[in-house]
Structure 1
Amino acid sequence: MQIKELYKKDIYRGNLILVNDQYPVRLPVIQLESWMDSTYQNQKTVSYLLKQCFCKLGLKDEIVLTSAYRTFQEQQQLYEGSCKENGRVWTKQYVAKAGHSEHETGLAIDLSIRHDQQNMICPDFPYDGIAKKFRDICKDYGFIERYPQDKEKHTHIARESWHFRYVGFPHSYIMQKENLCLEEYHQFLKQYSLYQPYIYVIKNKLFEIFYVPMIQEKTVIALKNEALYQVSGNNHDGFIVTVWRKQV
């Protein structure tokens, strides 16, 4: 058996952390990487997989990034600037307060169809054309549309067609299959444990996914020797463990 030790301090890191108005960013981002030759940065895995997705679509400059990783200070300036220009009520629909923005995790991106003048807060990323083609395949690379329509009561953010979040594979597939936003997905997974995991089969791989509550400073779980796995904190009270193997 493989013995995996889970530490309370690691609840606040991982591809599946939930950041919103209730759960702030707790840890600094490491391993940032620039997007192409631009000044935009994201976590290394996010930048790499987004490039792969763009290459698959054969994109040149039809789609551009309008925002990626932001520091606390940059998010604060954006929020306060929007409050002055657009009012606080409108701003709260589209801009998170500093410390509560997914952009501070290095896991989020804003995309736009290329225009001469870009709207930095609400970029133009429609549901047809090349934007639709991106949506159709982005889940293959672990990305989801983070703030879809009809999920505002969970996210507390208005629909943002341009905002995508990296959650990793196969979570991007499962969330689409079950029609869950990230807040709902976290609650959904809490019904599954090491002994009764959520089972998902795709591309000749069998995935077992489960939640581990963090009650003490350290929790130990035992996994099969041949198992490959990833662990992500949920940024609140525990971990999401993803185990996979080839389907027999």
Structure 2
Amino acid sequence: MKRSQDRRRTSKKRSKGLKATLLIAVAALVGLIIWIGTNDWNVEKTLEQAGLSNTDSEKPETSPGSEDKEEEDEQNLPPAEVEPAPPEESTEKGEDDTPFDGGYVEGQQLPSEPTYVKDILIANKKYPLPETFAPGESKEARAAFEEMAAEAKLSSFNLTAFSTYRSYDYQVTLYNRYVDRDGVEAADRYSARPGYSEHQTGLAFDIGEVNHEKHWASSSFGTTEAGKWLLANAHRYGFILRYPNHKEEITGYMHEAWHYRYVGKPIAEQIFKKNITLEEYLGIE
């Protein structure tokens, strides 16, 4: 009798143990299904979170943060030096009512000395610079820009000069890239040929607003509050809008709301008040 009772007790214990095991297994299965569901039913993603996936061993080794740095570097590149949008077809005409021809003197050789008119260094499609001319960024222009940017901050505009001095060799790379993409005729409207770039003087500043990079090197900058402030105040610090709207037949370049040139306060004020270009001021149209 005692043995029979012991057997029944043992059987009940085994039954309870089996039930408990089954309950734990069911709970684990339900938990796994819920976990996979929270990962959009992505089994591989779930295994990775559980540390059971070997996909990491199949990926090439990269230094920590390298991918983020690559994206950051790409985003911080000046738009004008990455891939500017090709200009729209222009309908502007010259005084003789013929299509604008680009403004270059074909076959012209680069000079051995830079050209000054009325003591102002000039660099445009008719007055190029020597290939060896490499003054770097103008310290005077930089100081004027920093003074201007400080005042702009008082109006809540955080201005930055995202592109200033460019060497001759660097301009070669930029211009050739644009020609390869858009052709010579289009590239000549928004990019200078090597030796003809005003950026090589160290006096040209491409200006934009921090955290508003979508407007950098874009005509839309002129429609922003920061762009309007700059247009109305830059002359007080010696800067002029170098390529105004509807002046392409004179300057040789399409309207660039972001491109400013340092000429000093007295001259900048005259050009601003008369609403003329640097070429018109110097009489070299």
Alignment TM-score, normalising by the size of structure 1: 0.61
Q: How does 1:1-248 map to 2 (within 5 A)?
A: 12=116, 16-26=120-130, 28-30=133-135, 32=136, 42-58=137-153, 62-115=158-211, 122=218, 124-187=220-283
Q: Would the aligned equivalents of 1:113 and 1:124 in 2 still touch at CA under 8 Å?
A: no
Cα distance, 1:102 vs structure 2: 0.3
CA pair 129-118 structure 1, distance change in 2 beyond 3 A: closer
Cα distance, 1:179 vs structure 2: 1.8
The range that moved more, 162-171 or 10-19, is: 10-19
**Higher RCO structure (Cα 8 Å, ≥6 apart):** 1
Cα distance in 2, alignment partners of residues 160 and 57 from structure 1 = 20
**Larger strand proportion, structure 1 or 2?**
1
Cα distance in 2, alignment partners of residues 63 and 170 from structure 1 = 23
CA pair 114-88 structure 1, distance change in 2 beyond 3 A: farther
Cα distance, 1:123 vs structure 2: 7.0
Give secondary structure in 2 for the equivalent of 1:150: coil
Code of the aligned partner of 1:48: A
Cα distance, 1:22 vs structure 2: 0.7
**Larger helix proportion, structure 1 or 2?**
2
Cα distance in 2, alignment partners of residues 75 and 142 from structure 1 = 25
CA pair 10-25 structure 1, distance change in 2 beyond 3 A: closer
Aligned residues between the structures: 170
Code of the aligned partner of 1:49: A
Cα distance in 1, alignment partners of residues 228 and 189 from structure 2 = 24
Give secondary structure in 1 for the equivalent of 2:222: coil
Cα distance in 2, alignment partners of residues 121 and 129 from structure 1 = 16
The corresponding residue for 2:21 is: none
Cα distance in 1, alignment partners of residues 169 and 233 from structure 2 = 33
Cα distance in 2, alignment partners of residues 164 and 73 from structure 1 = 22
The range that moved more, 65-74 or 10-19, is: 10-19
Cα distance in 1, alignment partners of residues 162 and 242 from structure 2 = 16
Code of the aligned partner of 2:144: L
Cα distance in 2, alignment partners of residues 12 and 95 from structure 1 = 22
Structure 1 stretches lacking a partner, 5+ long: 1-8, 33-41, 189-248
CA pair 100-124 structure 1, distance change in 2 beyond 3 A: same
Alignment TM-score, normalising by the size of structure 2: 0.53
Give secondary structure in 2 for the equivalent of 1:21: coil
Q: Would the aligned equivalents of 2:209 and 2:216 in 1 still touch at CA under 8 Å?
A: no
- Identity of matched residues, %: 29
Cα distance in 1, alignment partners of residues 122 and 114 from structure 2 = 13
CA pair 13-148 structure 1, distance change in 2 beyond 3 A: closer
Give secondary structure in 2 for the equivalent of 1:158: coil
Give secondary structure in 1 for the equivalent of 2:260: strand
The range that moved more, 137-146 or 86-95, is: 86-95
Cα distance in 1, alignment partners of residues 149 and 216 from structure 2 = 21
Cα distance, 1:12 vs structure 2: 4.3
CA pair 88-120 structure 1, distance change in 2 beyond 3 A: farther
The structure having more radius of gyration, on CA atoms, is: 2
Cα distance in 1, alignment partners of residues 270 and 253 from structure 2 = 22
Cα distance in 2, alignment partners of residues 92 and 164 from structure 1 = 19
